[in-house]
Structure 1
Amino acid sequence: MSVLTIEGVWKNFDGHHVLRGIDLEVHSHEVVCLIGASGSGKSTLLRCVNLLETVDDGAVYLEGQEITDPRADVDDVRKRIGTVFQAYNLFPHMSVLDNITLAPRQVHGIGRREAEEQARGLLGRFGLADKAEAYPDRLSGGQQQRVAIIRALATQPRLMLLDEVTSALDPALVREVLGVIRELKDTGMTMILTTHEMGFCRDIADTVCFLDDGVLVEKGTPEKIFTDPGHPRTRDFLSTVLESGRF
C-alpha cells in the first residue's frame, strides 16, 4: 500500500528550479533515504510533502488523497505527518512533558491524563523517563533531538519526515539519535529522511534516492546505489563522500 505518492513535482524559488519533476512512491513501513549534496532539493522536497511549501506543478498524495489540492485541509494533513527538523524547535518555556503533549491535547483533542500517559510511555521507551519535568535547556543536544522525535510520534502519524536530524549534533551524540530512528524502523514506521550519514543510510534504508540539482537522478536498494550506482552523477557524489571520510 502506498502511503505517499509524489507525481511530477516542481518547485521554483526566484526563477531557480529547486525541484524538477520529482516522482516518488513510498509504501507502508518503507524507509526512504534522500541523499545528495547541500542544495540538491532534499529538504525542499520534505517541506513540499508537509505543505510548508506549495508546489508549482505536480501533485502529492497522502494515502490516496491529493494534499496539494488547494481545497485540502492542511491541519488534517499535518495531523497525519510527523516532522523533525535539524533544529529541535522545542518550546524553551515548557517542560519536556508539556512539549510532547501540546499537539495531542490542542490539535487532536486528547485529554491531559491520556496524553501524559502516552508521553511518559514514549519517554520511557526511548530512555528519557527521568526527563519528563526537565526543560529543554537542561538537556543535551541528543536528548533534545530525541524529545523532538517523541513529540512528532505522540500524534501517531502515518508518515515521519526527518530532515538531517543529526547534523547539529556532536559526533558523540549522533549514535543515540540514530538508535531512535533504527527502533522506529523496527516497529514499522514509514519514514522519509535526509541524511549525510551514508553508513547509517546504507544500514537502515529500504530505498535510497540520489538527488542532484533538483532532479531525482537515481533510486534503488542501498546495495545497488552504494555498490553499483548506474548514473555517473551518483558515482561522482559517492566518490566525493568517500574521499571526505563521511561514509
Structure 2
Amino acid sequence: MKHDRGEGPGGPVLAVEGLWKSYHGAPVLRGIDLSVEAHEVVCLIGASGSGKSTLLRCVNLLETVDDGTIHLDGVEITDVRADPDDVRKRMGIVFQAFNLFPHMTVLDNITLAPRKVHGVARPEAEERARELLDRFGLADKAGAYPDRLSGGQQQRVAIIRALAVRPRLMLLDEVTSALDPELVTEVLGVIRELKAGGMTMILTTHEMGFCREIADTVCFLDGGVLLERGTPEEIFTDPREPRTREFLKSVLDARRI
C-alpha cells in the first residue's frame, strides 16, 4: 500500500479524492472530494438517492470504487494491495438496520468482533463491552437477546458493537430512520456523547436540527455530486447553492405538516 501522502498525525484521518462509483453504468457518485480531520463530525445531507449511503459504503470498502482514491491516515486503502478486512478493523459502521445476530446475547454480539477479528481475549473483550453498556445505559441488557430490546436499545447496542473495536473512524448511516420518533432521542444522545469524547465521525441523517447541532461540517449531496459544504451556520442560514436552499426548504416544510 502507498504511504506517499504524509498524512497521519496532524493530517486528515480520511481523504477522498475524485471518487466515482456507478451501478450498471449509471453514476451514483461523481467525483467526490472529502477530507475529515481528527475529532471532526461530518454530516452528509441530501435527498434519498443522492449517494450518501454509497459514499459511506465506499469508504468502508463494502463497495469497489470506479475511479479516485481514499486514504485513511495517509495510506491509500483503495490500492489493489490493500486488505479490505484489515482496513475495516479500523472503522466502525452502523446502518439503519441494526444487523444484530438474533441468536446471540447483547454481550456476545458486542464481543464477537474483538475476539474473532482482533484477537482480544474473552475476559478483556467482555470487560470493555460491559463498560460501554454501562456508559450508554444498557448495563442490565448484557444477557438479553435482541428481540427483547426496543428499537432504540437495539440501535444503541449496534453502536456499542462498533465502538468495541476502538475504531479510528465511525460511519453512521441513517441510524435513526428505522426508529419510532420517541426512540430517536436516546440514539441521538449516544452520538452526542461520542462527539463529546472526540470521536471522528461521518454520518448521514435526515434529522436537520440534530445535524445543525452536532456537525462541524455539513456536506450537501445532490445527484452524486458534493454540491456544497460548510459550517452548519453557513449551510442552514445562508446556503450558496439554489439546490441546497430548495432541499432545506422542502425538508423543513415537510416537518411542519
TM-score range (shorter-chain normalised) is over 0.9
Distance in structure 2 (CA, Å) of the matches to 1:246 and 1:201: 18
Distance in structure 2 (CA, Å) of the matches to 1:158 and 1:170: 30
Per the alignment, in what secondary structure is the counterpart of residue 98 of structure 2? coil
**Counterpart position of 1:156:** 166
Q: Give the TM-score normalised by the residue count of structure 2.
A: 0.95
Deviation of 1:246 after TM superposition, in Å, equals: 7.0
Per the alignment, in what secondary structure is the counterpart of residue 221 of structure 2? strand
**Correspondence 1:11 to 2:21:** yes
**Counterpart position of 1:219:** 229
Per the alignment, in what secondary structure is the counterpart of residue 245 of structure 1? helix
* Letter matched to residue 198 of structure 1: M
Structure 1, unaligned stretches of length 5 or more? none
* Letter matched to residue 97 of structure 2: A
Distance in structure 2 (CA, Å) of the matches to 1:240 and 1:172: 23
Deviation of 1:242 after TM superposition, in Å, equals: 1.3
From 136, 150, 154, give the equivalent of 1:140: 150
After superposition, the C-alpha distances for 1:192-223 in whole angstroms (9 at most, x for unaligned) are: 00000000000000000000000000000000
Q: How many residues align?
A: 247
Structure 2, unaligned stretches of length 5 or more? 1-10
Distance in structure 1 (CA, Å) of the matches to 2:76 and 2:162: 22
After superposition, the C-alpha distances for 1:139-184 in whole angstroms (9 at most, x for unaligned) are: 0000000000000000000000000000000000000000000000
**Correspondence 1:175 to 2:178:** no
Q: Is the 8 A contact 1:161 1:192 kept in 2?
A: yes
Distance in structure 2 (CA, Å) of the matches to 1:20 and 1:147: 34
Q: Is the 8 A contact 1:197 1:246 kept in 2?
A: no
**Counterpart position of 1:2:** 12
Paired-residue identity, %: 79
**Correspondence 1:30 to 2:40:** yes
**Counterpart position of 1:46:** 56
**Correspondence 1:106 to 2:116:** yes
From 101, 109, 119, give the equivalent of 1:91: 101
Deviation of 1:15 after TM superposition, in Å, equals: 1.4
Q: Give the TM-score normalised by the residue count of structure 1.
A: 0.99
Per the alignment, in what secondary structure is the counterpart of residue 13 of structure 2? strand
